Chain A
Amino acid sequence: SQQGEEDPQALSIQEGENATMNCSYKTSINNLQWYRQNSGRGLVHLILIRSNEREKHSGRLRVTLDTSKKSSSLLITASRAADTASYFCATTRRGIYNQGGKLIFGQGTELSVKP
């Protein structure tokens, strides 16, 4: 079963607006990561937040993590047309020694930023 589920599945906004995407997961985690995928390309890592962290920033990105609710959100401020892409959350499960760093990806949110 999917560990991460993104919400919404699709989001369309105007340039300059903020975009918020949410991710829920089912089991205890070691960390949660967000990735971005432009059409026809591989995924690109954006940010990693550990289970003992609540918020993290990177440029125009802000990620929050609520382990009590098993959820995370990704906020992109002052969006640009170039932010148009699919965004995925991915988690590693706690309690299982993870020799290879296996990630479980959600289905993704498709973000469209209109100029």
Chain B
Amino acid sequence: DAGVIQSPRHEVTEMGQEVTLRCKPISGHNSLFWYRQTMMRGLELLIYFNNNVPIDDSGMPEDRFSAKMPNASFSTLKIQPSEPRDSAVYFCASSLSLAGAYEQYFGPGTRLTVT
């Protein structure tokens, strides 16, 4: 199994530009999570999906952030327009979750730098 796949691994962009991060979860997993990690704030849950439906987006910082999951094998996190304070490592994770929590499998992350 290839594990959770994220692209790109690194992204450097200028303030104001649109950024799209991509994630392919593990096949068969029905939950997908987007996290952001910084030194200051630690690991923050931004949004998560169950069976392709957004369940909780309370962690999405602003309207500049949006996430979609058009099918079971693909999700995107978009930032438009980007700002320097969005610089962080963004992780995608997936799990097989029924009525409870199971272990989450994390991707390698996308390191975003906004200048």
**A residues touching B (Cβ–Cβ < 8 Å)?**
30-31, 33, 41-45, 48, 88, 92, 97-108
Contact A42 B42 (CB under 8 A): no
Residue from the list B43, B55, B91, B108 in contact with A100, Cβ < 8 A: B55
Given contact pairs A100-B33, A102-B56, a sample of 6 additional A-B residue pairs in the complex whose CB atoms are under 8 Å apart: A42-B91, A42-B93, A42-B107, A100-B56, A101-B100, A101-B104
Return chain B residues, CB-CB under 8 Å to A107.
42
Query: Considering only CB atoms and an 8 Å cut-off, how many residues of chain B contact the other chain?
Result: 26
Return chain B residues, CB-CB under 8 Å to A92.
100-101
Interface-lining segment among B45-53, B60-68, B70-78: B45-53
Residue from the list B31, B48, B56, B104 in contact with A45, Cβ < 8 A: B104
Contact A97 B42 (CB under 8 A): no
* A46 → chain B closest CB, angstroms: 9
**B residues touching A (Cβ–Cβ < 8 Å)?**
4, 31, 33, 42-43, 45, 48-50, 55-56, 91, 93, 95, 97, 99-109
10 shortest interchain CB distances as A-B pairs = A101-B97, A42-B106, A100-B50, A92-B101, A101-B101, A45-B103, A100-B31, A99-B50, A43-B106, A105-B43
Given contacts A43-B91, A105-B43, are A100 and B48 in contact (CB under 8 A)? yes
Interface centre among B42, B49, B100, B103 (most CB of A within 10 A): B103
Return chain A residues, CB-CB under 8 Å to B45.
102-105
Contact B107 A98 (CB under 8 A): no
